[in-house]
Chain A
């Protein structure tokens, strides 16, 4: 895509939770996104970019504004402003395919809803009397990663739309007499600085995973970070080369996990464990249960196992539950949900 070299994901020091959370959502986008809460300068966007960099290339119809895969072409294309591709389709020719990297689309804080969901190409409508849909960022992010910085400062409606699309894999626009639906399957990554206000609970709940991160506290780690960063800045290509093997290994693991996920089984008693866990820590609704189940399976798949274990559940609870635990107004989000549980002994 671009020549700019990205800092390798595997070379990020610490922030294990964030890295694992990102990997889980990449492997399984139906976890409906991850929210990263933390201060500035904690490698959030570096991680997202670095992860996208190592993912395998994807086949895309050339110049397609909806980033469609060749097999996805169909109804969506009927009102696509991209004419050449439409003509090819009409002639029954195969579309032109290119391979490209998974894209990271950034949503600016000031983004209006129009920009996000897309809108009617008004100029075209006025000139030609034809409705054309002008795709927004959700179309651009299809099959990629949508990175929303400062999600808590975004307009509530926009966040609502984002989460809806992330959960359903489809974006439906009904505005100004346009009604349009196109696929929008993306991994949603939101970041926020809790000091600038929380998301409202309804929206918070709809992020599948949530991790809270902070800057490294130990001097050693900080030194390590500096050293690596300096090494990278001095010789980006060389630095990336040095980490190439690790990157490749991770990429392989992810690809394998994606393939394995549908085959991961979970024992029935573990489902009881999940339900009991959610009841114990006091979670509203059922989204927690469902996400926890999926996350546990995803984690097992990432570790190359076909069976989810109690340890998987214990681990993903740290990603799935903190932001769902019922809180007093203005109470901070709990970091460690594990110790909120009653002793496991009195559970069935």
Chain B
């Protein structure tokens, strides 16, 4: 039933810059090496600015991957040792085929991959030639026992993210579509690179990475010079360069191989394990993946060092990589660190002497400092700043919020109206799920299953004298109709400056936002919220569909300070751009809630001028629909600055006085529909 080969997978040799010749970036290299030693660490996420050898390093890693034995002729890279995981092909073989060894692969998952490509699909030519349904394995099959590499993983389509997470979690790829049904084992190390400038990663995916490293460019001039020289030499004469670095590369590969051999015998004392869990607790890490990743990575680190005993040194060397992306953000202030529980594993203390000291039970304050690793203090500050670092100038209490209860009536009505209104759109690109097929005269996106079915009745008469087992005529052609879920995306840019705090204006705004949140939740729309106050704009809520987080953040949203309107607009547009990049068909909605009194500029111009200039710039992007809600108080003197902003944005303008929460929702709903 299943049978396929990758005829032409490895062809044209492309010179790859050798791993050992990469200058600097020691942490990134270490993380990659650790994963090459022990694939169970769970992959690496490499975050960093552009041009810091992220992709180069991952591509170079391929040459250092361990060899693994496979059956020759098996395209699912089945492990001959592990018969319960064999693919149906290997299981049904009469004789055991020859076993060959090859390097574990580094498989690149392109951002625009199709579902068939990732999971596997029908092999056209073989199916037609043989008349049997032959499966073409997907990238998940190729990556089995190797590395799956996603460049710019933060821009990966959600749909593909789900597929990968699913396969990674179950270790199995189950294909039930297009009339084919098969499953095969897939265990891969996920390596992703991303530039945080272009948006964050979904938390589930983030947690999936065992380790995470940040890379920045080298600041040291002579290192940069060294780097330039090497790259220039490589580009000029790659063959020569590869020859010169072959020695270093072989040494590295040898060291890796030794580390791999050593790994099974690496031991970790129980107290080191407790130390790890302490670390994890102290960093308020969600889940247990961090503990496991640290343990694995520490063992691998010891093996890399040529030792068969992992100690605190190893733990500290790898802990930051496992913890930095798992620390909980946007969570209530952490509970005070408790002293670690009493342990009674002191029996082996004599043996280890000094290195025993760190995990001693009475964790002193200096010990606590040691536990909190360097470079881990940032990132969480966004959430803490409202409470912790409030400067004394103005401190409004958190404005009164509409409780969910008070909003219940309108919400309830909306739920009924909104149910089932998840908009789907046809896509002309080869993206999205294949839902059905239709007759087509072009074969751009052929639905082979349907085509075969259409051709089936005529086979008897057509087959005479044909080379192929199945004869297909043009009239049989069917193409795929694909569907992509396009929930709307609504971005709220909320002015949280002091001027908004008066007369319950903020409460009304918050109420409106809250009701919309509930509505969006029903329709699986995604929302995000940016606020601006004091000197900067922050993304209060990254694009999400989680109503709970949104609701809590909204009610806790602090108010006060000056009005950096242009920063708010810029930040908001950044969020929108990332969303539109991921989904070019997206037509997002941006709701700006402000009184328009911009008084903090980003640059040197006057704040109002800057905001208007920026708004004009943003208004040119026709994909975004803007709605401006003016919260200026009704008085004798009105500046109507928000109206001017709305005009240059090319958006709609509403005064909050004319607009109770329910009305605002009606307006928005009209836009989305």
Q: Which residues of A contact B (CB under 8 A)?
A: 30, 75-76, 78-79, 112-114, 120, 122-123, 125-131, 155-157, 160, 168-170, 172, 174-177, 179-183, 195-197, 200-202, 205-206, 262, 268, 271-272, 274-276, 278-279, 283-290, 293-294, 297, 328-331, 348
Contacts and interface: CB of A to CB of B under 8 A. Distances in A.
A290 B581 contact: no
Interface in B314-366: none
30 contacts: A75-B11, A78-B8, A112-B429, A113-B112, A126-B443, A126-B472, A127-B472, A157-B112, A175-B114, A177-B121, A177-B123, A177-B136, A196-B620, A197-B621, A201-B197, A202-B195, A202-B197, A205-B51, A271-B229, A272-B225, A275-B222, A278-B224, A279-B221, A283-B217, A284-B49, A284-B50, A285-B217, A286-B231, A289-B224, A293-B229
Given A123-B443, A157-B112, A328 B602 contact: yes
A272 B14 CA distance: 30
Interface in B433-458: 443-444, 446, 451
Interface residues of B, number: 69
B134 to A, nearest CB: 10
Given A284-B52, A329-B571, 16 more contacts: A114-B444, A122-B443, A122-B446, A129-B467, A155-B584, A176-B116, A177-B116, A177-B121, A181-B11, A272-B221, A272-B222, A286-B228, A287-B51, A288-B51, A290-B231, A329-B573
Interface in B57-110: 110
Contacts of A201: 50, 195, 197-198
A168 B14 contact: yes
B250 interface: no
A252 to B, nearest CB: 23
B580 to A, nearest CB: 10
Contact of A179 (B8, B121, B227, B228): B8
Nearest to B569: A330
Interface of B: 6, 8-9, 11-12, 14, 49-53, 110-112, 114, 116-117, 121, 123-126, 128-129, 136, 139, 152, 155, 195, 197-198, 217-219, 221-222, 224-225, 227-229, 231-232, 235-237, 429, 443-444, 446, 451, 467-469, 472, 477, 570-571, 573-574, 577, 581, 584, 602-603, 614, 617, 620-621
A264 to B, nearest CB: 10
A262 B240 CA distance: 13
Contact of A180 (B8, B125, B581): B8
Contacts of A205: 50-51
A114 B445 CA distance: 10
Given A125-B125, A179-B6, A285-B51, A290 B227 contact: yes
A113 B114 CA distance: 12
A180 B11 CA distance: 8
A289 B574 CA distance: 27
Contacts of A284: 49-52, 217
A151 B287 CA distance: 44
B236 A262 contact: yes
A286 B52 contact: yes
Contacts of A182: 12
Contacts of A262: 236-237
Most buried by B among A125, A127, A279, A297: A125
A329 B570 contact: yes
B221 A76 contact: no
A71 to B, nearest CB: 15
Most buried by A among B139, B219, B221, B477: B221
Contact of A330 (B51, B111, B232, B614): B614
B581 A330 contact: no
Nearest to B129: A129
A130 B125 contact: yes
Contacts of A197: 620-621
A265 B602 CA distance: 44
B228 A271 contact: yes
7 nearest CB pairs, A to B: A285-B51, A287-B51, A181-B12, A275-B224, A129-B129, A122-B443, A284-B49
